Amino acid sequence: MEKKKRNTKTKQLVMSVLEKANAALCHEDIEKQLSGQLDRVTIYRILQGFCDDGILHKITSESGKSHYALCHNCSLEKHNDEHLHFHCICCDNIFCLEAPLVIAPLPAGYEARAVSCLISGYCRDCSGASRG
């Protein structure tokens, strides 16, 4: 028997922040936007639950910080996180790129469970800005 997930007010608050974002958000970004409405642990649990349910992609930056973005190309049956992510070294935003990730065949005996590919550089907004 599958456990039915409840859509709570706290989940709706976090989802509202994620839906308005134009880039992946870290835990601290979400916490700031909610300005004390939810405690740190509750936000973490909601984010982890959304990841487990295939609602969010979790992207780990070069610094090891986790960022979260809504899944747009996933179905309930198949969570597909096999796409590129881009980290802007100027504005520090992380974006999901729609370009599919091409994975080389693995040697015999290896089985992939997750793939992470993060490209660093300048985003559209920052590439023309002065970097001097």
Q: Which domains does the chain have, with CATH numbers?
A: 9-127 (1.10.10.10)
Task: Report d(CA 84, CA 100) in Å as an integer.
Answer: 7
pTM of the predicted structure, to 2 decimals: 0.77
116 vs 82: CA distance, rounded Å: 8
Q: How far apart are the C-alpha atoms of 98 and 100, rounded to whole Å?
A: 6
Determine contact, residues 71/97, Cβ cutoff 8 Å: no
Task: Quote the DSSP letter at residue 108.
Answer: T
Q: Residue 39: what residue type?
A: D
Tens-of-pLDDT digits for all 132 residues of the chain?
Answer: 344 567 899 999 999 999 999 999 999 999 999 998 999 999 999 999 998 888 888 888 888 899 999 876 554 455 556 678 899 999 999 988 877 777 788 999 998 877 778 889 999 999 876 555
